[in-house]
Amino acid sequence: MSAQTTEFDPVVILTNAFGRAIAQALGDNAGAADAMIAPNKRPELGDFQCNAAMPLAKRLGEPPRTVASKILRALEPVPIIEPLTDADIAGPGFINIRLRPEAIGELLAAFDTPALGLVCEGEPETVVVDLCGVNLAKQMHVGHLRSMIIGDALARIFERLGNRTIRQNHVGDWGLPIAMVTHKLQEEVDSGRMRLDAVTLDDLDRLYKEAQRDCTADTRGLAAARRWRMGPKAEAELEAQVTGAEEALADAKQTLLRLQRQEPATVRIWRSIADITMAECLKVSEQLGVRLSAEDAAGESSYAAELAGIAEDLVSRGVAEMSEGALVVKVEGLDQPCLIKKSDGGFLYATTDMAAIRRRVQQFGADRVIYCVDSRQSLHFAQVFGAARRSGYATKPGASTPSRLEHAANGMVLGEDHRPFKTRSGENVKLADLISEAMERAGNVVAAKSRDLPADEVAAIARAVGVAAIKYADLSNDRIKDYVFSFDRMLSFEGNTGPYLLYALVRIRSIFRKAQERGIGFDRHAPILPSAPAERALALVLLRYPETVRAAAKHLEPHRLCGLLYELATAFSTFFDACPVLASEGATRAGRLRLCDITARVLADGLTTLGIPTLERM
Ligand code: ARG
């Protein structure tokens, strides 16, 4: 095998080789046929099988065994397998493939470098990841959990593959609702009811809701009171409410204008709202091990000054048009256009996202912009992406095609009743509370397991287990699907959970500690000769690591990597039960120790790439 081999996964090697053979043997008739390489259904006949002959035969109108034979004749030598002859064609046209006995060991040895097969192929890309997206004056809730965890994992996956990433926290810090709460807080402070330096996020959350209520006129109630002649008292009360709400709304609009003009007194209030919200956001990110800093925040306010120019630009270039009094950009394939400016002159969520795409692509040079936002915003992103492509904002200066804009949509977090996850009283679950509960429960689980460890280490282990449990439960579920949040399930040390993976890693590390205690050395160049079925199975899972990370990046699906790590942990457990490591001797022990070492490194690398903390012992 050549020294420059960068492909370690037998399935990929065989898919490529058989793919070339099919194209060679059958030419254009084969189209872009898949080689259909799969694990052999009858392991006694081979490790893998190629199933392509049957569908191709149908298409070409030839007997499948003839097609299989043609494929074999066109197949160039594949160093990892035993040479194939027509005798390896079985049944209706399966081709049985056996790896050379040394092949797995050789592939593993080539894979066993610090890079673990993950080298950057081609030019690194600049990838912008839009994650978190908190809103000012609101507590973070489980809705933000997925965006943060998935966004961070995707960013780490791209970084692991050698790309440059830029995280962007598109903070909801502008517009009328923010002006409403700013005005409300201003009143509280001016009247002496609240001190600005003592305001908490809980206060803001409450003021936000009160401001919403203050500004919502019960015009329907008033109309009903008049229609049903509910009497002068009821009518007067409702009239007062409507007038009050209209006044509150007018005040908020004034506050918005003052913010736009950057009047210091108003900006001061707004700034403290922003600071309080962001402090909590950064605290939660840190607790969760999500890499997100103050510099990553690019709030809606940071685009406010560009919006009028964007509207003008789109009009002058004929991209935007008037429709029912509003300015819109029509998007092919969508019934509803992207709304740029309302008939009252106000700009929208979409307008700000257009400005954000322009900055991300044209200023930051993004080749790819990935939005980790829940699936209910799919239409919004379809409209904005379409409009951004049409307007040229999604195209890098000098480029001929737009950069890739992708919505990595996520499903919802559900409670055990399979409805949106809420507290008993029906409130959103505060993210801070959820994290502390996870830590506390993890503490109980860990304390029972790690009795002999010092208290501070137990606390650190509990934190890691709690974070691993929450993050892995989120990441291992298909991103687009809803999932049920269950502390008991995610904190279990059995099954497809974060703690199970941490435990698998710790177990391997303890083998090495024991080896050291017993004076057994470790040879990182020891030949690996996987012969027992459990050894071969473990090795084959390891070799799938690089391709799996690449696939997770390609499809924006961290759960693919979770799935592989879980398979790896279970394959290791089977291996460890079946194949004595320290109790064996000589070359067997040396080879098995090396297999353990590679397994531990892949597990640790995979967990870190997902943003999950690892442990030395527990
Ligand atoms: N603040 C928004 C919300 O709470 C999320 C922002 C998502 N990112 C974006 N570029 N639109 O819905």
Considering only residues 59 and 50, tell me which one the structure prediction assigns the higher pLDDT: 50
Q: How many angstroms does the Cα of residue 321 sit away from the middle of ligand 1?
A: 25
What phi-psi label fits residue 183: left (phi over 0), alpha (psi between -120 and 50 degrees) or beta?
alpha
Residue nearest to atom 2 of ligand 1 (CA): 133
pLDDT value at position 1? Answer: 38
Residue 22 CA to ligand 1 center (angstroms) comes to 47
Average predicted confidence (pLDDT) for the chain: 94
Ligand 1 centre to CA of 170 (Å) is 6
Nearest CA to ligand 1 atom 7: 133
Q: Where are the alpha helices (DSSP H) in 48-173?
A: 53-60, 64-74, 103-111, 142-160
User: How far is 341 from 345, CA to CA, in rounded Å?
Assistant: 6
CA distance linking residue 594 with residue 112, whole number of Å: 9
Q: Does the pLDDT of residue 2 top 60, yes or no?
A: no
pLDDT in tens, 152-178: 999 999 999 999 999 999 999 999 999
- Minimum-distance ligand 1 atom for the alpha carbon of 374: 12
Each residue's pLDDT tens digit, 499-518: 999 999 999 999 999 999 99
Is residue 356 lining ligand 1, measured as CB closer than 6 Å? yes
Pairing of β 48-50 and β 89-90: unpaired
Question: Which of helix, strand or coil describes residue 316?
Answer: helix
For a substitution probing ligand 1, which of 136, 139, 170 has the most ligand atoms within 8 Å of its CB? 170
Query: Residue 424's pLDDT band (boundaries 50, 70, 90)?
Result: confident
| Residue 271 alpha carbon to ligand 1 centre in Å | 20
331 Cβ contact list (under 8 Å, min separation 6) = 337, 338, 382, 383, 386, 387, 390
Whose alpha carbon is nearest atom 6 of ligand 1?
133
CA 61-63-67 angle, to 5 degrees, is 95
Confidence of residue 112 (pLDDT cuts 50, 70, 90): very high
Query: For residue 119, what pLDDT is reported?
Result: 83
CA of 349 relative to ligand 1 center, distance in Å = 8
Tens of pLDDT, residue by residue over 601-611, are: 999 999 999 99
Domains of the chain: 3-99 (3.30.1360.70), 176-288 (no CATH), 298-407 (no CATH)
Rounded CA-CA distance 250/256 in Å is: 10
Indicate whether 3 pLDDT > 60.
Answer: no
CA distance 211 to 192: 18
Number of CB atoms found within 10 A of residue 112's CB: 21
Ligand 1: does its nearest atom lie under 6 Å from the Cβ of 353? yes
Strand extents, DSSP E, 234-332:
321-323, 326-329
Q: What's residue 25's pLDDT? A: 87
Kindly give the number of the ligand 1 atom that is closest to the alpha carbon of 381.
11
Q: Averaged over 538-566, what is the pLDDT?
A: 97
- Written as one letter, the residue type at 137 is A
Residue type, position 582, single letter: L
Is the minimum distance from the CB of 151 to ligand 1 under 6 angstroms?
Answer: no
| 3 state SS of 329 | strand
Q: What's the average model confidence in pLDDT over 249-268?
A: 95
Tens-place pLDDT, residues 314-356 = 999 999 999 999 999 999 999 999 999 999 999 999 999 999 9
Strand partners, 407: 371
Contact 112 CB / ligand 1 (< 6 Å): no
Of the candidate ranges 27-31, 74-78, 243-247, 614-618, the one whose mean pLDDT is the lowest? 27-31
What is the spatial distance between Cα 191 and Cα 181, in angstroms, rounded to a whole number?
A: 15
- Closest to 498 (Cα-Cα) out of 438, 432, 423, 431: 438
Pocket lining: 300 vs ligand 1, CB cutoff 6 Å? no
- Residue 30 pLDDT grade (very low, low, confident, very high; cuts 50, 70, 90): low
Nearest-CA neighbor of 446 among 486, 499, 485, 490?
499
pLDDT score recorded for residue 356: 98
Residue 177 Cβ inside 6 Å of ligand 1? The answer reads no
Which ligand 1 atom is the nearest neighbour of the CA of 380? 11
Q: What local confidence, expressed as pLDDT, does residue 31 receive?
A: 65
- The whole-number average pLDDT for the span 594-606 is 98
